[in-house]
Structure 1
Amino acid sequence: MSVPARAWAVTAAGTAVNLCLGILYGWSVWKAALVPKDKALYGQPMTGTNAGWTYLSNSEGNLAYAVCGVTFALFMIPGGRLQDRYGAKLGATLGGLFLALGCVVAGVLKSFEGLVLGFGVLGGIGMGLGYAAATPAAVKWFHSSRRGLIVGLVVAGYGAAAVYISPLADYLITAHGLTGSFVGLGVLFAVVVVVAGQLLAPPPAGYVAPGPAQAAAAPAAPRGADFGAKQMLATWQFYLLVFLFVGSAQSGLLVIANAKSFLNDAAEGGSFFARNGWVLVTFIGVVNALGRVGTGQYSDRVGRLNAYALNGAVSAVCLLATPWVIAEKNVAFLFVVIGVMAWQYGGTLAVLPAVTADYYGAKNLGLNYGLVFTGWGIAFFVPQLASAIKDATDRWDGAFYLSAGLLVAAVLVSRIIRKPVSVAPAA
């Protein structure tokens, strides 16, 4: 028995939803327009197509990004409950509308407060509701032996969003200003997410996902227990999974928030890369997406947390090397080390939902993964702290060393986690 075509349609629709929700990964393009290199311009009014806007400091320029991430993570919880109880279509539709409203509010208000309210709060609500709908809807159509790959494909859309959003936002900011970029993208996202969300249909009652062909003749392995949220919260493994999210996500979020600034610091003034920082942001999007699919696929073979540890260890080395790379103005090597970090970060977003399903079952995955995902929201304290470090010292070194230390700690923790003992079925 083969997987029905509808299963792949749901997977594609989930990827399309995430391609819009991933506007968060293009944030460094907006930040570069909002935060000038000259500190004397902080708080000064802009001119031209951005008349009405005011220049921000590094910390201010990162706050809307951080608020968006925390709100996103928090609304994964009600988004997961919506998905589990009412299906994915409602969550995706609400997600698209909130994201669009947030972008329009951010553009129209033309202020720091408008960015925090619009992009940060309303946009974060939309991302949380929409993201919670996309992955569980696809996972339920496939056997657990393909879980890593399917999760990777769906969440790759979120990572790949930077591939088109970064150059598009850069063009829109140049041609139509900050307001035009936010409003234009908001309208586009509303249409795409709402339409794609209608394709996120669950499997019919009694549907059994086809397993590997070689296992057809063998006795079926007993299915793991489906933990309810309260049962999951009673296990120690849940809290370590949250820490794994914090430890690995913070390094990727640090890079995503400041990619264009890193390239500006490393590139020679007036060079192609100094003038086109969006290229690194787009590169991160490509590798981020590939990391989700690639890590998801080999985690099916070598084990979820083995893949997590391998990615994390290599990325920690790159984090430690990055201050030297920027100081040496080695742009080629900067792309290498940033690419490794992007792959690791993308891999985390494929591995941890799959681990959550492996440990606690697929039945309540929407809510359960929403709770584990709070670790991703907590991780935003690192890029916010990094911006404060940059404002105080004019260097990123301390932020990279802090990030590397947290990632190493997470890799070590990943070596001690084991699947929880099965419990009685949730009521």
Structure 2
Amino acid sequence: MLKVPTQSEDKHVLVNENDFTTKGMLKTPAFYLLWIMYFAGSLSGLLVIGLSQDIARDLGGLSPKTAGYAVAVAAVFNALGRLGWGALSDLIGRLRVFTLLFGLTALSMAALSLFQLNAFTYFAILGIIVSCFGGFLATFPAVCSDYFGTYYFGSNYGLLYQAYGISALIGPLLLSAVSQETHAFLWASVFALLGLVLTFFVRTPGNFSTAGNQRSDK
């Protein structure tokens, strides 16, 4: 059974100099780079998952019955991506995994737009895109914790997570703004390339002890 910690227990929560308040986090370049990366990483997956059956029929020429398997494929690879990519980031590092995720996403979205698809190629590409999408969702919370600490994780990650919400809003707008859905996939590929480039610039913020990052636990 869960219980509310007593006041004495609550005082023993570990807080260190790398625990950024939200105000302190907003003063670091890393937050804004990660926010853009989160947006760029989420866009492709959100576009494809919502249209997986339509893409199978329209671009792959698959029958309605075969296209229906797209939902199951997306669900399975989303789950596998969250488990696999998250575990890999613990082994080789978050930014190395981001480099792989953005590179695979950019190539897959371009292939989805430019190549002739059949059942095998479509489901393979769909699996890669959705697996990477799951990887982004598994790894960004860990990055937020690594970069800004755990004490204010709820408010800090809540702000970083807004990038996901904005990408969910921009995706339909992007589809309505282009003449063909394949053009939207190319734009998503460009955003993934942008995310890839940013992985070479984002850096872990150092200790931040200015007034903007003073804690309220004293």
Other-structure match for 1:398: 183
Query: Which one has a bigger Cα radius of gyration?
Result: 1
More helix by proportion, 1 or 2?
1
Equivalenced residues, count: 208
Q: Does 1:232 align with 2:22?
A: no
| Alpha-carbon distance change, 355 to 224 in structure 1, aligned in 2, over 3 angstroms | farther
| Alpha-carbon distance change, 261 to 386 in structure 1, aligned in 2, over 3 angstroms | farther
Q: Does 1:309 align with 2:94?
A: no
- The C-alpha deviation readout for 1:310-333, integer Å capped at 9, x for no partner, is 1110121111111234xx341210
- What are the residue-to-residue correspondences of 1:129-140 with 2, within 5 Å? none
Rounded to whole Å, the distance in 2 between the matches of 1:334 and 1:410 is 24
Rounded to whole Å, the distance in 1 between the matches of 2:138 and 2:23 is 24
State the AA in 2 paired with 1:359.
Answer: Y
Give the CA deviation at 1:365. 0.6
1:284 to 61, 74, 84: 74
* Larger RCO of the pair (alpha carbons < 8 Å, separation 6+): 2
Structure 1 residues without counterparts, runs of 5 or longer: 1-198, 209-221
Q: Does 1:421 align with 2:206?
A: yes
Higher alpha-carbon deviation: 223-232 or 341-350: 223-232
User: Are 1:382 and 1:403, in contact at CA under 8 Å, matched by a contact in 2?
Assistant: no
Give the CA deviation at 1:416. 1.0
State the AA in 1 paired with 2:84.
Answer: G
Other-structure match for 2:86: 296
- The C-alpha deviation readout for 1:326-367, integer Å capped at 9, x for no partner, is xx3412101111111111111111111101111111111111
Other-structure match for 1:243: 36
| Alpha-carbon distance change, 203 to 302 in structure 1, aligned in 2, over 3 angstroms | farther
Other-structure match for 1:347: 135
| Alpha-carbon distance change, 329 to 296 in structure 1, aligned in 2, over 3 angstroms | closer
| Alpha-carbon distance change, 252 to 236 in structure 1, aligned in 2, over 3 angstroms | same
- The C-alpha deviation readout for 1:15-44, integer Å capped at 9, x for no partner, is xxxxxxxxxxxxxxxxxxxxxxxxxxxxxx
State the AA in 2 paired with 1:279.
Answer: Y
Give the CA deviation at 1:380. 2.2
Which SS does the other structure have where 1:380 is aligned? helix
| Alpha-carbon distance change, 396 to 377 in structure 1, aligned in 2, over 3 angstroms | same
Which SS does the other structure have where 1:227 is aligned? coil
- The C-alpha deviation readout for 1:188-247, integer Å capped at 9, x for no partner, is xxxxxxxxxxx7778883478xxxxxxxxxxxxx95521111111111111111101111
Which SS does the other structure have where 1:333 is aligned? helix
Other-structure match for 1:376: 164
- What are the residue-to-residue correspondences of 1:353-372 with 2, within 5 Å? 353-372=141-160
Identity of aligned residues (%): 30
- The C-alpha deviation readout for 1:245-292, integer Å capped at 9, x for no partner, is 1111001111011111101214546x3xx2353311121111111111
TM-score by length of 1: 0.45
TM-score by length of 2: 0.86
Structure 2 residues without counterparts, runs of 5 or longer: none
Give the CA deviation at 1:399. 0.5
| Alpha-carbon distance change, 267 to 410 in structure 1, aligned in 2, over 3 angstroms | closer
- 4+ residue segments displaced more than 4 Å: 199-204
User: Are 2:61 and 2:118, in contact at CA under 8 Å, matched by a contact in 1?
Assistant: no
Other-structure match for 1:275: 65
